[in-house]
Amino acid sequence: MVLQFIKETFFFFMTMIGTLGNISVSVDYFFRLLEGVKKKPIHLILIHLAFTNILILLTKGFRKTVAAFGLRNFLDDIGCKIIVYLERMARGLSICTSSLLTVVQAIIISPRASGWRRLRPKSAWHILPFFSFFWILNGLISVNLIHSTTNTRLNISHFRGDESNCYFMLPSQKIKWIFLPLMVLRDAVFQGAMGGASGYMVFLLYKHHQHVLYLQNSKLLYRTPPELRAAQSVLLLMMCFVFFYWTDCAFSFFLSLSLEEYSLMVNIHEFLTLGYAIFSPFVLIHRDGLLAEQWETLKQCVSHLSDQ
């Protein structure tokens, strides 16, 4: 009972912390877009990534938290279909958006003489067609879950469930070999683009570091451009994504092959599926100093109200 209570409290606390962190990031970058002075494509992508993370936390994290507190069968058949469908789609959106963020940031910091510079978005709103494509793509890839998800366990040999009593009918071989290759292809393409863009940024940042060392030896003053500081934040974010994604895959593979049920491994795996959505906003908050900016804004608002 004590371990169950610890698990309940931990999932609830981490879900709330992650949701608040993503809301903080999305609100901050949304107001930056409204200001008009710093309308950057990166800000719009980060808003979409934060929204995707919130969707993951509200569908998967909240569902597991409520179920862990003992509220069973709180979703009807339609509710199970919607929640599970959105959860799977949000996972795909997270991969696609993270890849787009890395590619766009690599294009932004590319040298002026580079051919990649021509692909640089001229406006933040030029990113919107990519979001539409991501939603359509992941919506189609996840559509099989609408048919295979139910809240009624008809035959235990054909269904597998989770703590919230949503059950998943094992797909037929035909359906499996249609949607599974599409999911693998999507992950491979977008993670390949993410890896290539990250490697390119590492190369550019290394060249910049060598340039800074040369200027320091020459006793010349040089300040790092904000684009390169943003690239460092994006790289740290991608390292966070890669860690949680592949660790999650490793645990999933181990649990699928294991004949025994390891409760500790299952709990760790459940946390890993939420890890990127929970920690990614705090990477941005730490690197970009968002809390400091929001604190200054809050103090200015309070000061303005007190003067009235």
Q: What is the pLDDT of residue 261?
A: 64
In this prediction, residues 238-245 reach a mean pLDDT of 91
d(CA 112, CA 107) in angstroms, rounded, equals: 10
In this prediction, residues 38-62 reach a mean pLDDT of 86
Instruction: Give the containing element (helix H, strand E) for 159.
Output: strand 159-161
In this prediction, residues 145-156 reach a mean pLDDT of 64
In one letter, which amino acid is 220? Answer: L
d(CA 220, CA 232) in angstroms, rounded, equals: 23
Q: What is the pLDDT of residue 70?
A: 60
Closest CA to 45 of 26, 27, 58: 26
Q: Where are the alpha helices (DSSP H) in the chain?
A: 2-35, 41-56, 62-68, 77-108, 128-141, 144-148, 173-217, 226-257, 263-288, 290-307
Q: What is the pLDDT of residue 158?
A: 44
Q: What is the pLDDT of residue 302?
A: 42
Q: What is the pLDDT of residue 39?
A: 62
Q: Which residue has the tokens 């994504």?
A: 241
* Confidence label for 301 from pLDDT (cuts 50, 70 and 90): very low
d(CA 303, CA 139) in angstroms, rounded, equals: 47
d(CA 32, CA 26) in angstroms, rounded, equals: 10
Q: Is the pLDDT of residue 265 over 60?
A: yes
In one letter, which amino acid is 163? Answer: E
Backbone angles phi, psi at 84, to 5 degrees: -65, -40
Q: What is the pLDDT of residue 278?
A: 92
Least confident of 29-43, 152-166, 260-274: 152-166
d(CA 194, CA 135) in angstroms, rounded, equals: 19
What pLDDT, in 10s, does the model give residues 209-238?
A: 676 665 556 555 555 566 677 788 888 889
For each of the domains in the chain, give its residue range(s) and CATH number, in order of start: 2-307 (1.20.1070.10)
Q: Is the pLDDT of residue 293 over 60?
A: no
Q: What is the pLDDT of residue 273?
A: 87
| CA 203 to mean position of chain CA atoms | 25
Q: What is the pLDDT of residue 132?
A: 94
What pLDDT, in 10s, does the model give residues 84-129?
A: 889 889 999 999 999 999 999 888 888 877 777 778 887 778 889 9
In this prediction, residues 153-173 reach a mean pLDDT of 56
Q: What is the pLDDT of residue 40?
A: 78
Q: Is the pLDDT of residue 134 over 90?
A: yes
In this prediction, residues 55-71 reach a mean pLDDT of 73
Q: What is the pLDDT of residue 215?
A: 59
Q: Is the pLDDT of residue 192 over 90?
A: yes
Q: Terminal CA-to-CA distance of the chain, rounded, Å?
A: 54
Q: Which of 2-6, 206-210, 268-272, 279-283 has the highest mean pLDDT?
A: 279-283
